[in-house]
């Protein structure tokens, strides 16, 4: 596998001579389209009429229908929700792919779990920023970048790696680092990370801590500041300096608490359950459940989402964030 690459190691003139279609303009789509455009690439966005189409037009990017964008482009980056990709691919993308085109993804789910099976005569690659799309955009605007993984599934032209690296540079990843992976490794590690650590793990930990404090009679506002608001500040220190950097900045009292109480919260049983989660991903059990949930029109997803949005931490948090103008507005209010 290729070592970590940066802008100075990546040639992008060939890709700059081609048109890139970004299919979807959501969290990742808007970031890829705007970052690539500002990096000097020729971008067209493929959408349906609606909220994203209006936003793309307002942002000044070239927007058209999905089939038209595919017809115009040499590289087609699919940034639709994973669960919608197979149907839209079959109906609106596949019929318009030509030999020598490139089909790209920011997550390997549908290729790895064989929900999309591309023709043999196109390149298929992955450029997966390791961060939420809105921060891929915000970081780029700040002059920095979010690291990305790239992977090659199919190299029909012999230039798939050159194209993928130029694309990754264009979205800003070359300012941070670009690491080679495979569709299997990106898919399985990304699903594991978002379930057991980043999203599922952290939100469960935050809610459990908040509930422990409020059930003990402490003010919900204090519990919110302790368990949710300060989480970003601690994670910022981890982002900048790892465990050592964070521990340098917190008190020795907090560091001792970290050492003696942390292992009581996350213990060997937790790690055993993490291995079960990884097994569900590797065997396809998770993917199968997600595909069925969407085929049934998301009954569990919608019920849990409603319940989560009504959790006391959300009620308290919305009230407090309204009082703190410095807290950046949630991405869904832009």
Ligand X SMILES: CC(=O)[C@](C)(O)C(=O)O
Ligand Y SMILES: NC(=O)C1=CN([C@@H]2O[C@H](COP(=O)(O)OP(=O)(O)OC[C@H]3O[C@@H](n4cnc5c(N)ncnc54)[C@H](OP(=O)(O)O)[C@@H]3O)[C@@H](O)[C@H]2O)C=CC1
C-beta separation of 56 from 63 below 8 A: yes
Annotated ligand binding at 226? The verdict is: yes
Sign of CA dihedral 170, 172, 176, 179: negative
Q: Can residue 315 be called a binding residue for ligand X (CB under 6 A)?
A: no
Q: Can residue 12 be called a binding residue for ligand Y (CB under 6 A)?
A: no
194 binds, among ligand Y, ligand X, none (CB under 5 to 8 A by kind): ligand X
Annotated ligand binding at 28? The verdict is: yes
Annotated ligand binding at 321? The verdict is: no
**Structure tokens, 70:** 């595919």
Q: Between 12 and 186, whose beta carbon lies closer to ligand Y? A: 186
**Residue burial 107-132, b: 16+ Cβ < 10 Å; e: rest:** bbbbbbbebbebeeebbbbbbbbbbb
Annotated ligand binding at 27? The verdict is: yes
User: Strand 123-129 and strand 148-154: pairing?
Assistant: antiparallel
107: annotated active-site residue: yes
CB of 298 to ligand X, least distance (A): 17
CB of 83 to ligand Y, least distance (A): 9
Q: Can residue 48 be called a binding residue for ligand Y (CB under 6 A)?
A: yes
Annotated catalytic residue: which of 30, 32, 96, 107? 107
With a CB cutoff of 8 Å and minimum separation 6, the contacts of 9 are none
Q: Can residue 88 be called a binding residue for ligand Y (CB under 6 A)?
A: yes
Please report, as residue ranges, which positions from 174 to 193 form the binding site for ligand X (by CB under 6 A): 190
Q: Can residue 334 be called a binding residue for ligand Y (CB under 6 A)?
A: no
With a CB cutoff of 8 Å and minimum separation 6, the contacts of 258 are 247, 250
Q: Can residue 141 be called a binding residue for ligand X (CB under 6 A)?
A: no
209 binds, among ligand Y, ligand X, none (CB under 5 to 8 A by kind): none
Q: Which residues pair with 178 in a beta bridge?
A: 5, 148
Q: Can residue 80 be called a binding residue for ligand Y (CB under 6 A)?
A: yes
199 binds, among ligand X, ligand Y, none (CB under 5 to 8 A by kind): ligand X
Q: Between 132 and 209, whose beta carbon lies closer to ligand Y? A: 132
Q: Can residue 194 be called a binding residue for ligand X (CB under 6 A)?
A: yes
Q: How far apart are CA 231 and CA 206, in angstroms?
A: 9
C-beta separation of 65 from 45 below 8 A: no
CB of 261 to ligand Y, least distance (A): 32
Q: Can residue 199 be called a binding residue for ligand X (CB under 6 A)?
A: yes
294 binds, among ligand X, ligand Y, none (CB under 5 to 8 A by kind): none
C-beta separation of 178 from 147 below 8 A: yes
Annotated ligand binding at 133? The verdict is: yes
Strands (E) in the chain, as ranges, are: 19-23, 42-47, 62-65, 75-78, 102-105, 123-129, 148-154, 178-180
Binding site, by residue number, is 25-28, 48, 52, 133, 190, 194, 226, 230, 251
Show binding-site residues for NADP(+): 25-28, 48, 52, 133
């Amino acid at each position: 596998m290729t070592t970590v690459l940066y802008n100075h190691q990546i040639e992008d003139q060939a890709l700059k001579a081609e048109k890139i279609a970004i299919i979807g303009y959501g969290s990742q789509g808007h970031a890829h389209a705007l970052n690539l455009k500002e990096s000097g690439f020729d971008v067209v966005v493929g959408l349906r009429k609606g909220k994203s189409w209006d936003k793309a037009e307002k942002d000044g990017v070239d927007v058209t229908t999905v089939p038209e964008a595919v017809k115009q482009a040499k590289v087609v980056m699919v940034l639709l929700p994973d669960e919608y990709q197979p149907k839209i691919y079959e109906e609106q993308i596949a019929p318009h792919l030509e030999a020598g085109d490139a089909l790209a993804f920011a997550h390997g789910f549908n290729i790895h779990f064989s929900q999309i099976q591309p023709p043999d005569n196109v390149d298929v690659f992955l450029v997966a920023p390791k961060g939420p799309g809105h921060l891929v955009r915000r970081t780029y605007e700040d002059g920095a970048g979010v690291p990305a993984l790239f992977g090659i599934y199919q190299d029909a032209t012999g230039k798939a790696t050159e194209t993928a690296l130029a694309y990754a540079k264009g979205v800003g990843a070359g300012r941070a680092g670009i690491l080679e992976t495979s569709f299997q490794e990106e898919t399985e590690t990304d699903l594991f990370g978002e379930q057991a650590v980043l999203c599922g793990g952290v939100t469960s930990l935050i809610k459990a801590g908040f509930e422990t404090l409020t059930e003990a009679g402490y003010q919900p506002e204090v519990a919110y500041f302790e368990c949710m608001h300060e989480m970003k500040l601690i994670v910022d220190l981890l982002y900048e300096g790892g465990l050592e950097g964070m521990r340098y900045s917190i008190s020795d009292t907090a560091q001792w608490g970290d050492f003696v109480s942390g292992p009581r919260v996350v213990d060997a049983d937790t790690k055993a359950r993490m291995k079960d989660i990884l097994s569900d991903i590797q065997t396809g059990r998770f993917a199968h459940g997600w595909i069925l949930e969407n085929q049934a029109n998301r009954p569990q997803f919608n019920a849990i989402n409603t319940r989560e949005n009504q959790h006391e931490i959300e009620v308290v948090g919305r009230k407090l964030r309204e009082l703190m103008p410095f807290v950046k507005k949630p991405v869904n209010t832009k």
